Amino acid sequence: MDTGFSAYAAEIQRLMTERTAGQPLAFVRTYGCQQNVADGEKIKGILGELGFGFAGSAEEADLILFNTCAVREHAEDRVFGNVGALKSLKRRKPGVIIGVCGCMTEQRPVAERLGKTFPFIDLIFGTHVLHRLPEMLHQVLANSQRVLLLGQEETTIREDIPIRRDGRSRAWVTAMYGCDNFCSYCIVPYVRGREKSRRPEEIYRECQGLVEAGYKEITLLGQNVNSYGKGLEEPVNFAELLRRLDGLPGDFRLRFMTSHPKDASQELFDVMAESRHIPHHIHLPFQSGNDRVLQEMNRRYTREKYLALIRCAREAMPDVSFTSDVIVGFPGETYEEFQDTFSLIREVEFVNLFTFIYSPRPGTRAAEMPDPISHEEKTRWFAELLKVQEEVAGKIGQRLVGSRQRVLVEDRDGKTGLLSGRTASSLTVMFPGEDGLIGEFAAVEVTEARGVSLRGRLV
């Protein structure tokens, strides 16, 4: 099938050879969440079809692309810093093409500010048009013109975009795009658009190909996977999608992220409990343990509803583990309200938490709310929260000493020289072993726990 990507290859190659000697090289740097990582793999897939090889650094590349994130101010600052640092490279190597894409550029004022601040950027495009990269690149090369293309959300999902995966044992598979929830602090619905689910047979086909290619862990991605299926011709919900994928033959793990507590269901827990391939682990962001704050966040569940979900999941899977996201210092949150977050952490006992100090995103409702607590104060709350989590993690770690875990070996830890792998509950275990185990499952006995950082030995 002609995907339309390779159609541009010869012409782009010809135009690139006017600028470079030999095969043109691209360098793609991705920031932010797994969805962005998955987009980065598609961008690399398209560039591969266009005849690009890949460079290990920006200095060696003929095309540099920053695939950006908009979720926190800090990530934006880093992009501005990193793009700014390329000014001298562009002076030394005027033929190099520099582009910025992703969630950050999907916000028109930010894209325009980028373009104004850095006149040497050749290409700026948003999340909805990455499949048009060949055409944009051609325009830059043929007309020596800057291209800015944003915000043209399509109603159909392109299934023909090639993917160049970063890993050989773990893969990301997009189940759905966008989000309809409009949590008051979050920019995602504005930059990634409304929810759109991929057809189940397309997801099945992709997962089947990955398992046949030897991938050992597949993570289904979506901002809110539990609302998968809205708008599909065939009524398939997320639990049913998992049930179908679990039927794939082979030895692999099937994970998913992110679940929204308002849409997680008993059916989902039951499918997980009965499955062969789905580890008993759920990433279920609670964000705050206080009902008033949750309401201000527009999360549409209460603390009680969240805790009830945890109980249901534990009833279905007594060995289930949880991870979560927490926001520290939401606008108007008081220290007393923040105590409810501590108590919820102690009650649930998460194996790991991703904690963030609130960062205002222009254009969201929360960015307009009064926020009287200073950043220094929030930093103190944050440090307290880490202590509470360390205490919880320490208890969980101790309980695991002496247990046998099936671990997917991911790599060798640079500091200790030990192999590092992940248990079904998504905990990291380090242990001595041969390189040949990387990318394979191994049975490991946990011999020591430092918090939830576990040490073990092969059994």
Does 98 contact ligand SF4 by CB under 6 A?
A: no
**Between residues 260 and 455, which has the closer beta carbon with respect to ligand SF4?**
260
36 near ligand SF4 (CB under 6 A):
no
Q: What is the DSSP letter of 51?
A: T
Q: How far apart are CA 262 and CA 58, in angstroms?
A: 42
Query: How far apart are CB 325 and ligand SF4 at their closest, in Å?
Result: 8
Residue pair 84/101 in contact (Cβ under 8 Å)? The answer is: no
* Shortest Å, Cβ 78 to ligand SF4: 21
Task: Give the closest residue to 345 by CA, choosing from 317, 310, 377.
Answer: 310
Ramachandran angles phi, psi of 122, nearest 5°: -95, -25
Total chain residues near ligand SF4 (CB under 6 A): 10
Q: How far is the CB of 57 from ligand SF4 (least distance, A)?
A: 32
Does residue 181 bind ligand SF4 (CB under 6 A)?
A: yes
Residue 140 CB-half CA count within 13 A = 25
Nearer to ligand SF4, 244 or 365 (CB): 365
Smallest gap from Cβ 127 to ligand SF4, in A, equals 13
H-type helices in 150-265, by residue range?
Answer: 188-192, 200-212, 238-246
Binds ligand SF4 by CB under 6 A, chosen from 223, 341, 352, 389: 223
Which strands form 281-283's sheet, in the order they lie side by side?
A: 281-283, 321-328, 352-357
Q: Which stretch binds ligand SF4 (CB under 6 A): 80-88, 123-131, 186-194, 334-342?
A: 186-194
Contacts (CB under 6 A) with ligand SF4, residues 229-288: 260
Check residue 188 for interaction with ligand SF4 (CB under 6 A). yes
How many CB atoms sit inside 10 A of residue 308's CB? 13
Closer residue to ligand SF4, CB minimum distance, 179 or 454: 179
Tokens describing residue 404 = 């046998």
Question: Contact 283/259 with Cβ under 8 angstroms?
Answer: yes
**Distance of alpha carbon 59 from its chain centroid, rounded?**
27
CB 252 within 8 A of CB 213: no
- Segment interacting with ligand SF4 (CB under 6 A) among 51-59, 117-125, 178-186, 198-206: 178-186
Cβ 363 to ligand SF4, closest distance in Å? Answer: 12
Interface pick for ligand SF4 out of 54, 120, 182, 342 (rule CB under 6 A): 182
- What is the full DSSP assignment across 340-407? HHHHHHHHH--SEEEEEE----TTSSGGGS---S-HHHHHHHHHHHHHHHHHHHHHHHHHHTT-EEEE
Minimal distance in Å, beta carbon 122 to ligand SF4?
30
Residue 186 interacts with ligand SF4 (CB under 6 A)? yes
**If binding is defined by CB under 6 A, does position 183 make contact with ligand SF4?**
yes
Closest CA to 440 of 418, 421, 413: 421
73-84 helix and 108-117 helix, angle to the nearest 10 degrees: 30
| Between 261 and 421, CB nearer to ligand SF4 | 261
The interface mask with ligand SF4, positions 286-325, x = CB under 6 A, is ----------------------------------------
User: Among residues 71 and 140, whose Cβ is nearest to ligand SF4?
Assistant: 71
Closest contact distance (angstroms) between CB of 322 and ligand SF4 is 17
- Beta carbon nearer to ligand SF4, 42 or 361: 361
Look at the chain and count its residues: 459
Provide CB contacts within 8 A for 114, sequence distance 6+. 80, 83, 100, 104, 105, 121, 124
Least distance in Å: CB of 223 to ligand SF4? 4
CB of 142 to ligand SF4, least distance (A): 38
Part of the chain binding ligand SF4 (CB under 6 A), chosen from 59-67, 86-94, 183-191, 200-208: 183-191
- The overall longest dimension of the chain from CA atoms, in Å, is 66
Which one of 128-136, 185-193, 273-281, 288-296 is the stretch in contact with ligand SF4 (CB under 6 A)? 185-193
189 counts as binding ligand SF4 under rule CB under 6 A: yes
Q: Does 356 contact ligand SF4 by CB under 6 A?
A: no
- Choose one: 35-43, 182-190, 328-336, 402-410; the region binding ligand SF4 (CB under 6 A): 182-190
The b/e string for 183-196 (b: 16+ C-beta within 10 A; e otherwise) is bbbbbbbbbbbebb
The neighbour count for residue 69, using CB atoms within 10 Å, is 21
Going by C-alpha positions, the residue among 15, 31, 16 that lies closest to residue 61 is 16
Interface contacts to ligand SF4, rule CB under 6 A: 179, 181-183, 186, 188-189, 223-224, 260
